[in-house]
Each structure stands twice: as structure tokens, then as C-alpha cells.
Amino acid sequence: MLQTAIILAKIWGVLLTLVSLAAIMTWVERKQSAVMQDRLGANRADVLGLRIIGLFQPMADGLKMFFKEDFVPARGDKFLHTLAPMIAFFPALLTFAVIPFGDVLRIGTLEIPLQIANLNIGYLFILAFGGLTIYGTVLAGWSSNNKYSLLGGLRAGAQMISYEVVLGLSLVGLIMVFGTLQLDIMVKKQGELLFGFLPAWGIFLQPLGFLLFLPSAIAETKRVPFDLPEGESEIIGYYTEYSGMRFGLFYFAEFIEIIVLSAIMATLFFGGYQIPWLYAEGFQFPWGWEWNLPHLLVVILQIGSFFAKIAFFCWLQVLIRWTLPRFRYDQLMRLCWVNILPLAVLNIVLTGLVLMILN
């Protein structure tokens, strides 16, 4: 009974955190673009004259989405038109289930692992459900009964299938180094030290892997510079025929994907919840200092570090989105198949060689 309650509490906690972070991300994106373009940015929404630097804007956006006309093209497929945004939204939320956001929390004799589902196939689970988002975009394009939407959906499908291949390959090296697909073991191994002082984070073990993973992952979220499927500035993408909350779901799914992607990057390459030199008993610095901390404080610090890393990578992605221009479609495909793919294979071979020499 207690176990069920704990699991439900974890699911609700993660869900609420994720959704509210996504709402804040819409504000971050607008504010960051305003800073970069020397504008004032979103600051019109106010409650009784109170504006708090535009933080009411996400709520105003949400309300607007709900009250807009909900439009389905006359000869489109009504059922699939409704289903598509849900299919796009649901896998993005689900992937967070396997990501550990903290170590084991101990209250008395109770041990609570701070992760919803500790799966043996952890990383494959993310790939599997990430792959399902394609259906949302492709079906959205088709069910709109609009040539341009269909073409947008096809562009999205081709792009996401191509980049899924390199996304999977770019992480094989990391799996070889850690020898597991289980995300919590990966994070625990990143708590160890290299050469006695450097934290064994994925970025230090697989620098090339990270450089290949980052562009492929951003391409999977379909944001600038890879936003050809939606063509945001021209609005000729797969959700051209969407309005109201159906569009809202696509929009929201994009921000949830950003957060999930940041969480994956933090987990795989930047030590997840680990803080350098922080162990279960407290800090143990390589130069000999020790600083013991109570268990609860350590857990809170770890969760805090995990979310700080997520915040950093969210910000980084927004920065990239507002800095780079869009690729041409042939450049996009060439980047994937001609540039990233051979490098990813090279990374696997190199990792294998190094592991063989070390053993």
C-alpha cells in the first residue's frame, strides 16, 4: 500500500514538475529571444497591474489556446486530426519515467529510489518512445488534407528517421564504456573519479560522442536550425491546419522535448544528479578536505544539481535556436548521413580499441 502510494507520488511529482517547467520554458524562450534581439520581450500580461517580468504570459497563452476556434479542415480526417497531437505529446512525457533524478532517499528503514521506473533497457526505452513521436507529425500532416501539411509531415518523417539512426549510433560508445543500458547504474558510475581528481562524467569519456549526440538530438526536436518540418517563420509545416489547444499540444510537446532532452544529456554526459566529489557521506575533495553532510541535505543537493543541469541545457538549446539560421534540406541530410554517421561509427571503433588496450 505504502509502496503504491510512493510510486504514485513520484509519478505525480515528476509530471507536475515537467509540465510546469514546460510552461516556464515558453517564457524563457520569449525572454531569451527578446534579450538577444534587443527587445523588451513578453511583458504585457498583467494581473491587477502586477507583471513580475512577464511570468503571467504562459498562463495568458494557455487561456488563449483554450478559447481559440478549434478548427478541423473540411475534408480532413477528424479522428486522426485529433489523435496526432496526442501521439506527439505522450511519448515525450513518458521518456522521463526512466531518468533518475536523485540517488536513493532513506527515511528510517524506508528506501525510495528517486526514479520512476528502473528498467534494464533504460536507454532503449528512451529511443523506442522517442521514435513513436514521428507518428504524431506524419499523421498531423496527412490528416489535414493539405498538400503543404503533407509535405511538411514527410519532411519531418524523413528527418526524424535519419537522425534517429545517428542518435542511436552516437551513444553506442557510451554504452560500451559503462557496460550497461540501465540509466541509474550509468549515473552511479559517473560518480567515480578519473586519475583521482576528474569526475568520470560521460563528456570526459566520450567527447566525440557528445559532439555527435547534441546536433542529432536537436534535430529530433525539430527546432532551428533543423526546423524544416514546421517552417515556423513561413508556417508551411505539418501543423499548418492546427488551431486552439490541438496546436497548443504540439507547441507544448516541443518544450517538454527540450526539457527531456536536457535531462538525457545531463544523465548520460554530465553525471546526472552527481556533484563532483560529493559522496553519500558528504564532500571528499581530492586534496584531502572532508566535509560531512546529513543524508537529507546530500539528497536535496543532488536533486538540485540535476535540475540546475537541466536548466543550463534548456538555456543552451534556446540560445542555439536564436543564434543559428536554418539549414537547407540537402545540407540537413548531408550533415546526417555524410558527416555524422561515419564519425559515429569511427567513435565506436575507437572506443572499442581503447577499451581493448585498457583491458
Partner 1 sequence: MEAIFFIILSIIIIFSSMMVILKKNPIASVLFLILALFSTAAMYVMLMAPFIAAIQIIVYAGAIMVLFLFVIMLLNLKKINEGGAVTLKILGVIVAGLMMVVTAVVLRSVAIPADSGFLRSSPEGFGTVENVGMTLFTTYLLPFEIASFLLLAAIIGAVVLAKKKL
CB of 332 to partner 1, least distance (A): 18
Number of C-beta neighbours around residue 222 at 10 A: 24
Q: Is 129 among the residues that bind partner 1 (CB under 8 A)?
A: yes
- Strands (E) in 60-204, as ranges, are 104-107, 110-113, 193-194, 198-199
Q: Pick left, alpha or beta for residue 118 (phi over 0 → left; psi -120 to 50 → alpha; otherwise beta).
A: beta
CB of 67 to partner 1, least distance (A): 31
Residue 338 host element (H or E): none
Q: How far apart are CA 280 and CA 297, in angstroms?
A: 10
CB of 231 to partner 1, least distance (A): 19
Q: Is 142 among the residues that bind partner 1 (CB under 8 A)?
A: yes
Residues within window 64-103 making contact with partner 1, judged by CB under 8 A? 77, 80
Q: Is 279 among the residues that bind partner 1 (CB under 8 A)?
A: no
Taking CA 65 as the corner, what is the angle to CA 60 and CA 70, rounded to the nearest 5 degrees? 160
Q: Which residues contact 79 (CB under 8 A, 6 or more apart)?
A: none
CB of 23 to partner 1, least distance (A): 29
What number of chain residues touch partner 1 (CB under 8 A)? 24
Contacting residue, 86, 128, 296, 353, with partner 1 by CB under 8 A: 128
CB of 101 to partner 1, least distance (A): 21
CB of 40 to partner 1, least distance (A): 43
DSSP string, 162-231: HHHHHHHHHTHHHHHHHT---HHHHHHHTTSEETTTEE--HHHH-HHHHHHHHHHHHHHTT-TTS-TTT-
For the record, the C-alpha cell of 327 comes out as: 539549414
DSSP-derived 3-state class of residue 180: coil
For the record, the C-alpha cell of 32 comes out as: 531569451
Q: Is 154 among the residues that bind partner 1 (CB under 8 A)?
A: yes
The window from 39-47, 137-145, 189-197, 259-267 that contacts partner 1 (CB under 8 A) reads: 137-145
Q: Is 336 among the residues that bind partner 1 (CB under 8 A)?
A: no
Contacting residue, 112, 127, 320, 348, with partner 1 by CB under 8 A: 127
Q: Is 256 among the residues that bind partner 1 (CB under 8 A)?
A: no
The smaller minimum CB distance to partner 1, of residues 25 and 138, is found at: 138
Q: How far apart are CA 82 and CA 63, in angstroms?
A: 19
CB of 266 to partner 1, least distance (A): 22
The smaller minimum CB distance to partner 1, of residues 162 and 190, is found at: 162
58, 23 contact by CB (below 8 A)? yes
For the record, the C-alpha cell of 60 comes out as: 495568458
CB of 129 to partner 1, least distance (A): 8
For the record, the C-alpha cell of 172 comes out as: 553506442
Q: Which residues contact 311 (CB under 8 A, 6 or more apart)?
A: 262
The smaller minimum CB distance to partner 1, of residues 57 and 221, is found at: 221
What character string, x for contact with partner 1 (CB under 8 A) and - otherwise, covers 161-190? Answer: x--x----------------x---------
Whose cell is 512525457? That residue is 93
The smaller minimum CB distance to partner 1, of residues 125 and 307, is found at: 125
38, 220 contact by CB (below 8 A)? no
Q: Is 138 among the residues that bind partner 1 (CB under 8 A)?
A: yes
For the record, the C-alpha cell of 131 comes out as: 521514435
Q: What interhelical angle do 78-94 and 122-143 show, nearest 10?
A: 160
Contacting residue, 62, 73, 131, 244, with partner 1 by CB under 8 A: 131
The window from 24-32, 152-160, 224-232, 278-286 that contacts partner 1 (CB under 8 A) reads: 152-160
The length of the chain is 359
Contacting residue, 6, 150, 203, 350, with partner 1 by CB under 8 A: 150
Q: Which residues bind partner 1 (CB under 8 A)?
A: 77, 80, 119-121, 124-125, 127-129, 131-132, 134-135, 138-139, 142, 150, 153-154, 157, 161, 164, 181
